Amino acid sequence: MPRPQKYRRICAMPRVKSFAPSEFGASGVIAMTIDEYETIRLMDLLGCTQEECAAQMGVARTTVQAVYGTARRKLAEALVEGKRLEIGGGTYVLCQDADSCCGKDCAQKSCGGKACHCGCRRDV
């Protein structure tokens, strides 16, 4: 029997849940999970390392590496092939401090870093 999948902690739900090419219409659909979206947000947007991302999400670094690789391939396929990208689903739990996080460099702002557990961009 396989091991049960561990819930991944998500601190920011996507504001927009689907993207599609506007010029010619989409030629298919790519489904990205919320945890894949979170790895892209943490590592590509906020500049977290895999270790920081893993700590933030409450999973192993190897798990983050695999999820991130899958997410990047999906983004590339959507861009190159002109497919619609839809974000939703997955095995995750929303962080209890998600609404109070003040953004990219939250350690420097009003929450004093309490809403961000990983240390991403604390030197900004």
Q: Are 111 and 100 in contact (CB under 8 A)?
A: yes
Closest CA to 95 of 8, 11, 38, 37: 11
Per-domain residue ranges of the chain: 8-108
Walking along the chain (124 residues) 10 residues at a time, the average pLDDT comes out as: 85 90 85 96 93 92 96 95 93 76 46 48 35
Cα dihedral across residues 34, 35, 38, 43: positive or negative: negative
CATH 1.10.287 for domain 8-108, yes or no, is: no
CA distance 103 to 105: 6
Whether this model's pTM surpasses 0.85: no
